[in-house]
Chain A
Amino acid sequence: MEGRMTSLEATMKASSTMASSMVRNADPDQQTLRSNSVEQFYFPRPGQSLPGIPPFFGPPSSSLYLPNDNEAKFGNQFESNPSQNTDWDPQAIVSNLTFLEQKIKQVKDIVQSMNNRENQVAGGSSELAAKQQLITADLTSIIIQLISTAGSLLPSMKNPLLSSNPAVRQLGNTLGSPMGFGMNANQRPSVDSKTDIPDTGKTSDYDELMNNLNTAQDERDELIKCPNPCGGEGSEPTPMEDHDVKESDDGGEGENLPPGSYVVLQLEKEEILAPHTHFCLICGKGFKRDANLRMHMRGHGDEYKTPAALAKPTKDSGADHAPVTRYSCPFVGCKRNKEHKKFQPLKTILCVKNHYKRSHCDKSYTCSRCNTKKFSVIADLKTHEKHCGRDKWLCSCGTTFSRKDKLFGHVALFQGHTPALPMEDVKVSEASEQPHDSEPMNEMARSMVYSFPSSSSDGISNLDMKMADDVRGYFSPLSFDPCFGALDDFTRPGFDISENPFSFLPSGSCSYGQQNGDS
């Protein structure tokens, strides 16, 4: 319970208050855990920017190292929080609820103050939007805290694990971060239009909230990394994007829409190559996330500002009023370019993307297994990699097949094509990599053959035998067994190979051989 409380507090008060509260919960058992927790805060997980400080609890300073200050300032909130070891502590809950109450009040204050200022200045709409954004973010964080507080109070969360398991602690950290996010958004009004706002309508589920938070976190990271995601090469597209693309690959081939019955949209090369999957149907601007697109759509008119338009789109919504749109490839001369005589439009933006990459871009993805096949669309690479190296059937024309019957069908179809031997590439590597294995073996065999030239009754054939091979055989660098070294000694060096090599045999035994040599 002690640990759980600590983590809970950490969650609620975020970084600045946490250390102090833990210091006060001076239970000897807690020491290690506490330091652990603090450490995690000081060294946030990779990819996560420094946890922000909630605007409610103090100045956005690096006050993480000054627990005392924070204690002085906020400690009273939790003064009554006892360090009891009971499972269910009404006092703690009361204090939590009070804390939430306070927070809501604070937000309310802010809104009010903003409202006042707005009345005074009557500032531009952009400033107003920024403010709205800020407040939304704050509300989000409050809701998160509400959920986390409530969640931590649920019986299922009353698990000793929560206090002892650092992973759960980290969960708390994650929860703490969106507050920083909110503030961050505030500091960067230029990008706020792309800031994702967790869908507060669906946060009743704790898990989903967590997911949304993480998404938001990632999104912000990306925004920081690449402030203008619309231009230039972004990070690699995630595999997920391209997999569904594959299905509708270069579509539009079969359909025969009469020209003029559809709107032709031509995206620019940069747009096509940007790592986006969500494109504005009006201007073609691309986004990585649909939520950002929806945010963007608001700029195209009021009809996109309704809650229905901003909500997650269902399949059929929007289909009614959107005109039939087809796409043109920006590459002039391509059949898919609208200038082409036999222009064949592309059905979807995803088709445009794949078509453009496959037809007009370098193949930058190389298969890591075969190191020869290259692809411009990562999904193609992944499809290839599934089959690469496994039952690969190759035709002499270079086409590969995953199945033998397909290859043979291909060979049957084309004159002069023949299945390529799988050894053909092996051959090269064999010759270069393992010359110590096969070649000397043959060499050894050959030299063995010639090391025992037998008697011959045919003089002319002996002349024929006197080839380079024989010389090599006699001066072969190979070492035989001791007994064969001796044998070599007995064999007269030179080229008189008609001499019987068994002259070392006892005189009686080799009489036949000697006679033979003479004959």
Chain B
Amino acid sequence: MGHDSGSSAGAGVESLSLDLLAHALAGVRDPRDRKSCRLASRAFARAEAASRRAARVLRREALPRALRAFPALSSLDLSACAGLDDASLAAALPVRLARASGVGWRGLEALVAACPRLEAVDLSHCVAAGDREMAALAAAGLRELVMDKCLGITDVGLAKVAVGCPGLQRLSVKWCREISDIGVKLLAKKCPELRSVDISYLKVTNESLRSVSTLEKLEDIAMVSCLFIDDDGLQMLSMCNSLQSIDVSRCHHVSSLGLASLIDSQRFLRKINAAHSLHEIETCVLSKLSTIGETLTVLRLDGLEIFASNLQAIGSTCKNLVEIGLSKCNGVTDDGIVSLVAHCCDLRTIDVTCCHLLTNGALAAIAENCRKIECLRLESCPFISEKGLEPIATLCSHLKEVDLTDCRINDAALQHLASCSELLILKLGLCSSISDEGLVYISSNCGKLVELDLYRCSAITDDGLAAVASGCKKIRMLNLCYCTQITDAGLKHVSALEELTNLELRCLVRITGIGITSIALGCTSLIELDLKRCYSVDDAGLWALSRYSQNLRQLTITYCQVTGLGLCHLLGSLRCLQDVKMVHLSWVSIEGFEMALRAACGRLKKLKLLGGLRSVLSTELLQMLLACGCRVRWVDKPLVYEG
């Protein structure tokens, strides 16, 4: 019957033109649904092949086929592609290569030669990439380049890019610690089109800002934790008056004075991030805020000394604020929040993490004034209770994200929150008083929930999970660490969450291989799994994972009761596995480790192993791991059983 309905639907679809089908497909967002369409009808498959613009390739072997199948691709994400090497790159497109540590300059050279229209490359976290890779890329005339944490890149590599890509518009060199003022100076001189520059964590000084200020089109500058930059630098930067976004967070030598002088010359500023830089926000800044009061939408002042009067001034000048960050700000009180939200009715995100003085009064004011609020971060606000959450839940129906970690709320609070049917992210970590009852409330109405954090909610049992699994089918990230009452039966319920990608089960001492097997069978999209200190999990669990969890990328099996055979099987079979933490596997012999690692060594990018193994594993193996771009973290923690 199923077959019949499929074929009839297919016949109807066949008669439609390709572009109509493509248009219809564009409305289908979920990749799973798209896949169903493809499988249901050849016509859809053709339409998809002709119209698909973006692809994310998970396996190296599939890359050539994907490129053949989707000729219209304009963006290709290879950041999750296991074992990517130079040979595979020779035929790719606009590329995202983040964390592809095996990629070298030869591959990039081939890539650049093969794609004359290459415009954007993301090389972030390719820690091995250096000047030579940059030289290869520079030939492409890129517009966008992200090379965060490419540790080998020096001024010379930056100069190569600057000279080779005069049309560069966006550049991020975050964490490229070798880059200095000289390189930035040349960049500013050679790339006048630059709109966005990220020089965070560099050892650059005010001189760099002087150079950058000559960029006439600069809109966005980030200089997180540039410790050699001070007020003089910001003064120089004020030469450039087209800025839209400034990030000076964690620049410890920047003070209110410098920020004020910079703001003074700007007319279009939308975002200011001054988190953890100024000690306190002084009146000079507040008075200058009025010049950009109309445009400013995002203001982050995390970690500063903020008083009620400050918040009142901000509220009265910046009426269009959409996001305010006050995380870890001393002095934030109910009065302050009340006076802030009185004028800012467009606020959608409020971050008051660790503002310990806040009480339900603040929440009431927020609920009254900011009906559009979507994200509320209230972690560690201990005086907040269900009475405060009630007005929020009833008045702010758009609420999507709530962080109540460590807030000592109870099931009644969850009962109120359950009325927010748009809720996507709910963090309830360390709320040890919530029980299955609360989860039942949530699951009854929050069907869109994507992320649920129940870290150390130790009152949760299998029944609660049953409710969640039946009500919140869309959950992708689930944290059940230290919910020690959970057993294999609970995991059986969890296995109904087909879209689950991240699952943390740390220290669930009652679960065994059977529970893991059910997870592996049900949650086929699983990408990350944490089984640390699940002392009862054995080889059976690993075999299930190696058979069914083909998308698993990150796995922690520290302290699990697995043997060498299970490990070999696991590492030999999982083709997407890139990051494995396996410390204190007492049942695995040295030969077991050796064999397992050899079986996987082309794919692994990160490993965490017991320090003692370093000397007993063969040097040949370690060299091979190194050559494949795998980084090994050797830990020397003592074997301690807890839970």
Contact = CB atoms under 8 A, between A and B. Distances in A.
B547 A512 contact: yes
A512 B513 CA distance: 15
Interface in B229-279: none
A171 interface: no
Contact of B595 (A418, A454, A487, A506): A487
Contacts of B595: 483-484, 487
A452 B594 CA distance: 14
B159 A464 contact: no
A500 interface: yes
Contact of A411 (B186, B600, B618): B186
Contacts of A462: 61
How big is chain A's contact interface, by range?
35 or more
Interface string A439-470: 00110111011101011111011101100010
Contact of B594 (A454, A481, A510): A481
Q: DSSP class of A's interface residues: helix, strand, loop or mixed?
A: helix
A452 B598 contact: yes
A416 interface: yes
B490 interface: no
Given A411-B159, A448-B601, A452-B572, A461 B59 contact: yes
Contact of A412 (B156, B164, B186, B591): B186
B533 interface: no
Interface stretch (B2-10, B427-435, B621-629): B621-629
Nearest to A440: B627
Contacts of B600: 452
Contact of B163 (A416, A441, A456, A458): A416
Given A423-B131, A481-B594, A512 B546 contact: yes
Interface centre among B131, B156, B159 (most CB of A within 10 A): B156
Interface string B68-89: 0000000000000001010100
Contacts of A515: 547
Interface residues of B, number: 53
Nearest to B181: A405
Contact of A449 (B185, B547, B573, B628): B628
B190 interface: yes
Interface string B520-542: 00000000000000000001000
B550 interface: yes
A421 interface: yes
B598 A448 contact: yes
Given A408-B186, A418-B160, A458 B62 contact: yes
A464 B61 CA distance: 7
B10 to A, nearest CB: 22
B627 A516 contact: no
Contacts of B390: none
B62 A421 contact: no
A460 B65 contact: yes
A513 B569 contact: yes
A72 B576 CA distance: 107
Nearest first, the 7 A-B pairs at minimum CB distance are A449-B602, A512-B547, A418-B163, A445-B627, A419-B156, A419-B159, A452-B599
Interface of B: 59, 61-62, 64-65, 83, 85, 87, 131-132, 135, 138, 155-156, 159-160, 163-164, 182-183, 185-186, 189-190, 539, 543-544, 546-547, 550, 565-566, 568-569, 572-575, 591, 594-595, 598-603, 618, 620, 623-624, 627-628
21 contacts: A408-B155, A411-B159, A411-B163, A412-B189, A419-B159, A421-B131, A421-B132, A441-B624, A444-B620, A444-B624, A448-B598, A452-B572, A452-B602, A456-B575, A462-B61, A465-B61, A502-B573, A505-B565, A509-B569, A512-B544, A512-B546
